[in-house]
A and B are shown apart, each in its own frame.
Chain A
Amino acid sequence: MKGKDELRVEEKISAILDSYKIDDSLDTKKQKTKSVLEAYLPVRQPQHSIVSVKVLIKMALQELFLRCKIQLSIFLLVLVALMVVIDSPLEKYLMMIFTAPIPLFICFWQLFGKYDQAMEELEHTFKCSFNQMFFSKVVAIIGIAILFITIPAIQFLLTGSQVRTVELFQLIILGLTPICLFSLMLLVLVTVSRNVNIMLTTFLIWMLFGFSALSTQVGELLVNVNVIFYAVVIVVSTVSIILKLKQLLQLDRKDLMKYES
């Protein structure tokens, strides 16, 4: 009897709970919610391609030219003047090594160091991804620095008829080593923080080292180090730069590829 009564109560509970109906005309409210949620959607990244990266590198080069034309022109004049004035091949070598990263410092400082928080925010709202812009700027800067190293090399070729191919190779390797090392270092620095003081301190330390090397035996020692050692340093730092740049680009490309698929 008790069991029957319990069963009846159970059925009644079910019937009551089943009778709990809700007005399902939710369309208006649903639309309202959707329009509110639109504000919370992340800004859609544009579809990236190699072409757009090329365009961005071109833009970065233009920006470099606009921002750094005076500094780079002065540097170029000083470089040519020094190359003409200095007679000793050893000093020419050393001068080339120590001046090689200067365009890097100028460009990194102009393109990244001077940016404040607001400028970064602005970059984020630009049509291209922040990572792509960053990538293209770094590529443009490294390209400019490498271009500058060719100037003393050409001067060597034009003026010194006695310059042998081996010496020219050594010259290029010696010039490229600080470029690669400083590119990697500045790339890491601007990725972590865009502190101008850190860049400036690094530059001053390097110049101090350069001057002391010129006036002591260190310079000669540096030039006499086996060129293979420098080649290894270049390869390692170049691979590190490529990996770092690839990592930068992949940050948004990974998500994008999934989305496109």
Chain B
Amino acid sequence: MKDDYELIKEIKLGSKVAMEELVDKYYKQIFHYTYRILGSYEDAYDATQEVFIAMMKALPTYQEHGKFISWLYTIAHNRCMNNYNKLKKHKSELIEEQEMSATEDHSNQYANSVFAKELLDTLPKIQKSTLILKYYHDLTSKEIAKITGVTIFTVKSRLYQGLQKLRKTIKEREKNERKG
């Protein structure tokens, strides 16, 4: 299997095969990230496609600085942050729909997914994206700092605050369940 650098070189020369290989390699990761941020499959598909289009447009001037996937995450992060507010309203409607279908479905796993999504949605978008990159994409604080354009200290602070907020939400939920 060719490494990213070789694939990029070939894409710059117009190789369709290399482009497909690169998409195969990173589509899932980028889609998972955009989905977890935006919360809707359709929006995530669109955002992922936009990320790859932006990648193709920027490839001629791309210069190797660290991992290629980090650069892709940077594009994805910026795109998601731009689209986030726009889609927030639409997303809340969607979650309601999903909750309804989850109760109808009686699928425990699906209900858990919805709960996880809800839980992450209680966080501000910057904390949410930091937590997602750390937890689901196994990135280091340094890599996250580079992707999100902040310092390592800020990343650590966001992770801490994000987790604190999750703890608080879970505790409150447990309290309510006990009361109920």
Identify the A interface with B (CB < 8 A).
Answer: 6, 9-10, 12-13, 16-17, 19-24, 26, 29-30, 32-34, 36-38, 40-45, 255-256, 258-259
Contact = CB atoms under 8 A, between A and B. Distances in A.
17 contacts: A6-B167, A16-B115, A16-B119, A20-B120, A20-B136, A21-B113, A26-B28, A29-B48, A29-B49, A30-B23, A34-B23, A40-B53, A40-B56, A41-B11, A44-B14, A255-B12, A259-B10
A30 to B, nearest CB: 5
Given A34-B19, A37-B23, A22 B53 contact: no
B71 interface: no
A41 B112 contact: no
B116 interface: yes
A13 to B, nearest CB: 5
A60 B105 CA distance: 72
Q: Is the interface of A mostly helix, strand, loop or mixed?
A: helix
Contact of A44 (B13, B136, B166): B13
Contacts of A9: 167, 170-171
Contacts of A42: 12-14, 60
Nearest to B56: A40
B64 interface: no
Interface stretch (B29-37, B85-93, B95-103, B137-145): B29-37
A24 B13 CA distance: 31
A33 B27 contact: yes
B24 interface: yes
B52 interface: yes
B13 A16 contact: no
A128 B170 CA distance: 65
Nearest to A258: B9
Contact of B163 (A13, A19, A29, A38): A13
Contacts of A255: 9, 12-13
Contact of B27 (A17, A20, A30, A43): A30
Given A37-B23, A37-B52, A38-B19, 7 more contacts: A17-B120, A19-B109, A20-B117, A30-B24, A37-B53, A40-B53, A259-B13
